[in-house]
Structure formats: structure tokens, C-alpha cells
């Protein structure tokens, strides 16, 4: 994981157009903490989540478990919705099912 984690982190930093030190300051990390992963260190769970949220990618992507930056499976997208949005989605799905299968309400 170490090499792949650092490689992906480095790519994300470069794509952001910011320096690693600037990102460290924005996240409140000690100076050169991101560069230290080059030496093979693994991030803590908290750091992994913080970095994935900052770059808007899945922690699984950073760890090398998946190849797509965002895990956009339906269940994961559903988990991001508010309760009100989930209710609205339920109503939309219900209407679609009734229309699809010609079921009367």
C-alpha cells in the first residue's frame, strides 16, 4: 500500500495546483507530514479520512483497494443523503415502480 498511497497522494497534490506544504497548512498538519509518506509510512485512519475528504476521493482509492477515485455505488451515494433527501428518493422510486409495473396507487 505504501508506494501506491504515496503515488496517488502525490498525483492529487499536483492536480490540485497547490504545494504539499500549502495543503498541510490548510489541513492543520505538521510541515512535511505529507512528504514523509514517501518513506513508506502509513496514514492513521483519521489522516486517511481527512485526506480523502480534502481531495474528494474514496479512502479505498488512496489505499489502493479500488482504482476509481470515487466509490459511487448506489448505497454509498444513498448514505450521503439527508433524511429529507432519502424520503424524497423513496417517493420518486415508489412512483417509478408504480409506473413501470402499471400498479395503481
Q: Is residue 51 assigned to a domain?
A: yes
Query: Confidence band (pLDDT; 50, 70, 90) for 94?
Result: confident
The count of domains in the chain is: 2
The 10s digit of each residue's pLDDT in 26-85 is 999 999 999 889 888 889 999 999 999 999 898 888 988 888 787 666 666 777 788 998
Residue 1: which pLDDT band, with cuts at 50, 70 and 90? very low
Q: Are 6 and 17 in contact (CB under 8 A)?
A: no
Same domain, 80 and 99: yes
- What does the radius of gyration of the chain's CA atoms come to, in whole angstroms? 19
Residue 39 in domain? yes
pTM for this predicted structure: 0.65
- Cα 45 to Cα 59: distance, rounded to the nearest angstrom: 9
If asked whether residues 23 and 42 sit together in one domain, one would say yes
Q: How far apart are CA 7 and CA 92, in angstroms?
A: 41
Amino acid at each position: 500500500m505504501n508506494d501506491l498511497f504515496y503515488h496517488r497522494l502525490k498525483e492529487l497534490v499536483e492536480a490540485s495546483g497547490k504545494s504539499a506544504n500549502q495543503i498541510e497548512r490548510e489541513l492543520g498538519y505538521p510541515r512535511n507530514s505529507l512528504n514523509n509518506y514517501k518513506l513508506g509510512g502509513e496514514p492513521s485512519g483519521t489522516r486517511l479520512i481527512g485526506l480523502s475528504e480534502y481531495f474528494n476521493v474514496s479512502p479505498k482509492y488512496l489505499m489502493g483497494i479500488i482504482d476509481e477515485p470515487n466509490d459511487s455505488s448506489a448505497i454509498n451515494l444513498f448514505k450521503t443523503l439527508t433524511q429529507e433527501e432519502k424520503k424524497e428518493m423513496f417517493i420518486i422510486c415508489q412512483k417509478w415502480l408504480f409506473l413501470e409495473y402499471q400498479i395503481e396507487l
